[in-house]
Chains A and B, each alone.
Chain A
Amino acid sequence: MKTLRVPFLFLSVLVLIGFGCKGLENTAERPSPYNGDEVLYRAELITTTSYDSMRDFVTWEKQWRPIINNRDVKHAADTVRAHGKEWIATAKRLRDSYKISPTQTNKDALNASLDVISQALAEALGYMSKYTTTKKV
């Protein structure tokens, strides 16, 4: 089941990422803070949304740990606790590099770091989904 669920969730996150931007409003009267750069906007959108989701996940896991009673879930949350800041810091560093030099190489590196965050988020969403629909109390 897990092999089916996680790819689906990951795909859903990719859908969110892929459709997360359909052009930025950017006119002389209403200038974009991103100068119309969708890559930068998307990077910041994913970073902030992922942080919110990671925080929600670790809070949820800690609050409901006795009910969940599954070490795999705790270990997934502990992975986020241990590496979440590092993931965000890496994404920020690569976002800064892209902003300074918007090359394809820097863009690919930025997207790769966002994929790492997205995969952790997909696992978190998977656990939250599973334990809020199938766990009987």
Chain B
Amino acid sequence: MGPEEIALALGVINLLRIIGPKIAEAVKSGQVPVEKQKEIRAAYDSLTTDMDAHFTGPEWEIEPDDAPIAEVPPKAPPA
């Protein structure tokens, strides 16, 4: 197994760590309880009622590729 295959395997493991809990939550029960449905409905209504607010902020601004970077993070990016 070469370095790229190892990197892919690590990537897959990390991906499963990210989305695994969501999949586990989705498949663990037979039915979606009403409370969970209401939670999703509330989140959806919040998102779609004021979309501008949800897509506003520095993280949503497109900067030039060569724009100066304000600060350098101190460590590796977390998941």
**Residues on A with beta carbons closer than 8 Å to the beta carbon of B34:** 25-26, 30-33
Q: Of residues 45 to 65 in B, which have CB atoms within 8 Å of A's CB atoms?
A: 47-48, 51-52, 54-55, 58-62, 65
Q: Is A1 an interface residue (CB 8 A)?
A: yes
- Number of contacting residues on A, CB 8 A? 62
Inter-chain contact B15/A129, CB cutoff 8 Å: yes
Q: Which residues of B contact A68 (CB under 8 A)?
A: 77
How close is B47's CB to chain A, nearest CB, in angstroms?
6
Among B37, B61, B62, B73, contact of A34 (Cβ-Cβ < 8 Å): B37
Cα distance A30–B34 when bound, in Å?
7
Query: How distant is the Cα of A22 from the Cα of B58 in the complex, in angstroms?
Result: 38
B residues neighboring A (CB under 8 Å): 4, 7-8, 10-16, 18-19, 22-23, 26-27, 29-34, 37-38, 40-41, 43-44, 47-48, 51-52, 54-55, 58-62, 65, 69, 72-73, 75-79
